[in-house]
Amino acid sequence: MQGVAQTIISIITAFLSIFTLLIGAGEQHTGTDELELVGTQKYVFLDALAAGSQGVTTDGEYFYCSGSIADFRLAVLSKIDMRTGRIVSRVWDAIPQEFKKLAYDHIGDIGYANGLLYCSLENLDDNADHLVVVYDTELNYTGKYAYMRGYAIGEAEGAALPAQERPEAGQFLCDGIPWCAADEANGRLYCSRYKGADRIYVYDLATLAHLYDLPLVGTQPLDRLQGGDVFGGYLYLNVDHADEDGAKNKIVGRVDLTTGEYTQLFVRPAFGFTEWESEGLTVYEKDGETYITIGDYDRTVACYLHTYRIVNHE
């Protein structure tokens, strides 16, 4: 019976792979002058759910990816060989039952540090307290977690938000926690709001206690902030939003972790014939070169891990 099911899944996967080619998804994407596209891993159907549809991070040997189907309250974690793109292992029902019972249904972008994966969990209720839950690199829940409450937001800050988005006392991630990034060198964890992000919230990596806010300087509040990762003293951010000219491009920026200065680094042109959504990212060094891998979802049946080498950039 299991063999029959596997055959059916293989047939469906092959059909959907052909479908993505026919609609042109993924075929029009290239790099830019600053980003040389050096690799693309494509995942279809069930593999797409496991491979970067929400988040991606790395320990230098493996990619670790997150994916979610909120309507089914299903969240997946996977481990992928960086060299081959092969999914080594996956956990289909990754959110611990104690949190699923409380309506936590979604894993966003994730971070890696010291042999651990830090995963952002969201609730069906956007006004609920959101979580960071910690797993090991075998995708096992460690039992460590923390509610990302922070501090009671001041009236002056809350008044600027629409009434339905104003956080209650002790909350500021009132529209979810779309990503978290682990900073091994400095012992910090970072996250932000999804919409209207005007600051980065900074936590202690060991205790997950809120430490301070880092206001963003040199930018308007960022919308559709999907992912983040720390590299070389900077926080790199993936923004799935139009640029200042209104073009539907995907933006990579970075934040100076000392000053909060935000710089827009790269604009990736829109690609494919569907309404692509860009998700998590991870930045790393290999053989003296700096690379960025970004998870892109074609909003049909496929996800892609696009890997770029940074060129002509300090």
Q: Across the strands, what pairs with 90?
A: 78
CA distance 310 to 45: 30
CA distance 216 to 70: 30
Question: Among all chains, which residue has been given the structure tokens 């940074």?
Answer: 310
- Structural domain tally of the chain? 1
CA distance 314 to 309: 13
CA distance 296 to 195: 19
CA distance 304 to 18: 15
Residue-range definition of the domain harbouring residue 59: 2-310
Kindly report the CATH number assigned to the domain that includes residue 15: 2.115.10
pLDDT, one tens digit for every residue, the chain (314 residues): 555 455 554 555 555 555 555 555 444 567 788 889 999 998 987 888 778 789 999 999 999 999 887 666 789 999 999 999 999 999 999 999 999 888 888 899 999 999 999 999 988 876 677 789 999 999 999 999 988 764 334 444 444 445 544 444 445 676 678 999 999 999 999 999 888 888 999 999 999 888 888 999 999 989 889 999 999 999 999 998 755 555 567 899 999 999 999 999 998 876 666 677 899 999 999 999 999 999 998 877 788 899 999 986 65
State the pLDDT at residue 157. 45
In degrees and rounded to multiples of 5, residue 303 shows phi and psi of: -125, 150
Do 104 and 78 touch, CB atoms closer than 8 A?
A: no
Q: Give the number of other Cβ atoms within 10 Å of residue 195's Cβ.
A: 17
State the pLDDT at residue 187. 97
